[in-house]
Structures are given as structure tokens and as C-alpha cells.
Amino acid sequence: MMKTAQDIGRVITRYGAELILETASGEHLRCTTRRKLENVACGDYVRWQVEQQGNASVLAILPRQNVLERPDFRGKLRAVAANIDILLVVSSWRPEPNWEMLDRYLISAHLLPAEVLIVFNKADLRDIYPNAEHEACLREYLEIGYQIVHTQAKGGEGLVEIEEAIQGKTAIFAGQSGVGKSSLISQLVPEEEIRVGEIGETGEGRHTTTVSSLYHLPGQASLIDSPGVRDFPLPKLTVSQLQAGYPEFSRFAGECRFNNCTHQHEPGCAIKTALTVGEIPPRRYQRYLTLLKSQINN
């Protein structure tokens, strides 16, 4: 029996057991996956071949740089996307920011590891829905060194900054439903037809992207649009893994009395001391305690 030639490609989109594969020549092929490859994800590099029946199939997933995962409703980790260089976490002024979800994405970016850029979309709504608490939360991210880009898809505000940040990289847009990820991508990749949804009367987002899809931008950039979520739970982490996702803690590393300090109730805690003198953002610290409790009880 004649053997068919094998080649390397990248997964552009996955629909259940089928996926769209981009070949080395840039052609898009519909492929099937074998049962043992059920964890293949958008962004994966794979080895594939055309079968003698004429259909294409994926044979193997090549070693990953990293993979962004989230637990499903049963707690099993599911791959969202793979081989990510930079995570673009999108929030907006409507629906209102979910700061704890943003923190969970930032922790995930650190674990990948990957660069991170906070994107605050719908900049025109900032003055329409003023909120002092949201502004205070936003300032804390700037104080600890996160880069924030304010965008407005329809007016093109902030798009140049995004293009510069992802040049030569594989980026993924992630965030809660309705924040405008697909609207931003439709401006960044205008030749693609991307569904854009509206915000309901409740202010909650509606899902417009149901699967992760990869698009190409000028400057050797690839951009993955991931489905919006109502929540983004973390997998089970160790205390040290959770703490590593808080860069504001790093300057005090090794200064606590106990090596396994949780920065919660222990005496001689350098983080709690720094908190009292304003060197640790108080809102971020309170959300850390909430996440710590959920991890301990998980």
C-alpha cells in the first residue's frame, strides 16, 4: 500500500472533531482528528496527511510552547488555544469590568508564560458610566507596571498600539462576553467576516464567538479570537503558583518570617506590612485573598 506524504500545518479553527488547518503554503484545509488527539487546539502546530480516500487527517500534535486552558463544568481542563506569545485581556466599561476575572487571566498569563496587555475597550463609554471604584482599580494595574491600552473599535482608537504590541507574535484576545473582542478584530483584520454582537438591556454581554479562530495581521502577527466567557475559573494551583501571578509581591520575596507564608494571617508577613504603608494595592490584595480561599477550598 502506497504511503501518503506528511506535512506540517497550524490549526486555525476547530469544530468538534473537525478543524481548519493552514498548510505551509497558506492553503486552508478541512481535516479530521483521531480520537487520541481530542485535545488539539487553535494555534497548535500539527503533522497531517492526505489519506488515500482524499480526506486530510491530523496525525500528531507537535510540542507546544504553551497552552491556555480552562476547566469545564466538570472541572476537566480544556485547551482554549496553544503557542501563545502575548495574552490581550479585554475589558470594557459596559458590561462592567470584572476585576477578579481580569486577575485570573493575568495569573494564567504568568503561568503560560506569556506577555500580557490589558485592553480597555469602548473608551467612549468611560464618561457615560463614570465609576470612581473602577477608576481606582484601573490605577492599581498601572501602579504595578501593567500596560493598558484604551480602545474604541469604531473610531480606531488604540488599534495602532495593539498592532505594535503583537508584531511578530501570536496573540490571543480573551475576556468576558460582550466586551468587544470581535469588534476589535474586525477592525484589525477588516477583510475577514466576523460576527459582532450587541449588549443586552441588562448590560450583560452576548456570545458572538463560539470557537477560537486564528487570523493573520501585517507584520507577521497572528491573532486568536477566543469565545467570550461568563467566568474564567483557575485550575487547581499551589499557593506559590497563585502568588507568582501577583508581580507586586515579587519585590518582597524572602522577607516574610515563614518561607511558606500565605500573606494572609501569619506574623512577620512582609506583604501585609507593605499593605499598611501603601506599597501593595489594597483592592488587588483583597482579591488575592478571595482567590487564595477558593484555591484552598478547591
Q: What is the pLDDT of residue 208?
A: 45
Average pLDDT, the chain: 89
Question: Which stretches of the chain drop beneath a pLDDT of 70?
Answer: 1-5, 35, 54, 193-210, 298
3 state SS for the chain: CCCCCEEEEEEEEEECCEEEEEECCCCEEEEEECHHHCCCCCCCEEEEEECCCCCEEEEEECCCCCEEEEECCCCCEEEEEECCCEEEEEEECCCCCCHHHHHHHHHHHHHCCCEEEEEEECHHHCCCCCCHHHHHHHHHHHHCCCCEEECECCCCECHHHHHHHHCCCEEEEEEECCCCHHHHHHHHCCCCCCCCCCCCCCCCCCCCCCCCEEEEECCCEEEEECCCECCCCCCCCCHHHHHHCCHHHHHHCCCCCCCCCCCCCCCCCHHHHHHHCCCCCHHHHHHHHHHHHHHHHC
| Overall CATH class of domain 239-297 | mainly alpha
Q: What is the pLDDT of residue 54?
A: 67
Q: What is the pLDDT of residue 16?
A: 77
pTM metric for this prediction: 0.89
pLDDT digits (tens, 9 = 90+) for 207-258: 344 688 999 998 889 999 988 778 899 999 999 999 999 999 999 999 999 9
Domain 67-225: CATH architecture, name and number where available: 3-Layer(aba) Sandwich (3.40)
6-61: what fold? OB fold (Dihydrolipoamide Acetyltransferase, E2P) (2.40.50)
Q: What is the pLDDT of residue 218?
A: 84
Taking the domains of the chain in order of start, what are their residue ranges?
6-61, 67-225, 239-297
